[in-house]
Structure formats: C-alpha cells, structure tokens
Amino acid sequence: MRHRSRTFAIMIVLMFVFGCKKDSASSDPVSTTGPLTEAEKQAIMQTHQSIAATADTILLGGDPLAGFQQKLSSYRSYANVENAWTDVNGLHIAYKKAGVAQWYVAPEPVISPYDHPLVPPKRNLPVMPRLAKGANTNVCLVNTMDQDESRTVYRDYFAYVKRKFQLSGFQVTEVLGPN
C-alpha cells in the first residue's frame, strides 16, 4: 500500500514538472499572428467608428437589411475589414486580427390573427364590481407600455377597460409611460 501511494505521488509530481511549461505562443484564441500593435488598434477603431456611423443610421431606417446589403461593398473595401455579410439577423463585420461586430435587426412582434385588438376575449375582461352606496369610485389604470412602439396593440385594450369602468360609474385616472 505504501509503495502504491509513493508511486502515485511521484507520478503526480512528474506530471506537473513535465506537463506544465510556459507556452511561447499567444494564448488569445482569436489571434493567430500575435498581439495587436497600438497603430493596428487605432486603425481598427477608426474603421469601426466609420462603419458604425452609417450602420447605426441604416439600423434606425425603414428597411435596415436592404440598407446593409447596399453598403456591403463599401464596408468590405476598408483595409481592416476581413469580411462583411448580412443575414436575417443583421449586419456582421469581421475585422482582420480582431473580432466580429454585429448590428442586430430586431424582428417585428407577431400579433395573433385570432385575437382582434378592439374586442378582448371574455375571459380576459376585468370583473366590474357593483357600486355600493358611499363606495370609493376612483380607479387608476397604469399603462407602462404606452410609449413602447412595439406594444401599441395594448393601447386598445386599455381604452376598452377604461371605457368599461367609466360606464360602470367609476372615475378613471390613467397613468401612461414608464414613470
């Protein structure tokens, strides 16, 4: 037993002595030619800023994928750009000796064709309490998504609920927006 434990300990020590050595190659998995010089870093940053100026504007436009497609040849013409391509997700720019920058095009929200926005289903309607004599008739509706352009369909639901409360005799106060 003693002999086995000594042998095991010697093997562990030998593994560390011969297995662990300083690697002379770069440890960066992306870089295959060594670290970037300061001049290369500055050139890549300037190229990225130049591309970002147009890409950000295109991204805010009506059809960003078509806009990116039109600018691909000019993006590829930069000296520091290895490749530029588009797909259904957006624009991708691969820089030489650096990484990949991406401009993501968010998909449009899909509104179910089965639910009409003006008439919510019966099971989702609020239960309208009956007014008791001397009861509090104040109601506050908080719609934090009012200014979110991707959630405009909910404005009709809130208007419907507000109207139902008003027809039931309540004084409705609306709080709109994220505040």
pLDDT of residue 61: 84
Determine the Cα–Cα distance for residues 141 and 81; give it in Å rounded to an integer.
52
pLDDT bucket at 76, cuts 50 / 70 / 90: very high
Which own/partner pairs from 123-127 qualify as long-range (CB within 8 Å, at least 24 positions apart)?
A: 125/164, 126/161, 126/164, 126/165
pLDDT bucket at 22, cuts 50 / 70 / 90: low
Residue 43 reports pLDDT greater than 70: yes
Token readout for 168 is 């039931």
pLDDT of residue 5: 74
Mean of pLDDT over the chain: 78
Q: What is the mean pLDDT of residues 31-39?
A: 73
Residue 120 reports pLDDT greater than 60: no
Per the model's pLDDT, the better-predicted residue between 15 and 82 turns out to be 82
Residue 30 reports pLDDT greater than 60: no
pLDDT bucket at 92, cuts 50 / 70 / 90: very high
Return the bridge partners of 141, or none. Answer: 174
Helix (H) or strand (E) holding 23: none
- The alpha carbon of 4 is separated from its chain's Cα centroid by a whole number of angstroms, namely 56
pLDDT of residue 74: 93
Residue 19 reports pLDDT greater than 80: no
Q: Where are the domains of the chain?
A: 39-107, 122-176
pLDDT of residue 29: 47
Lowest mean pLDDT among 1-5, 149-153, 156-160: 1-5
Query: Helix 38-59 to helix 64-76 angle, to the nearest 10 degrees?
Result: 150
β-strands 138-143, 171-176 pairing: parallel
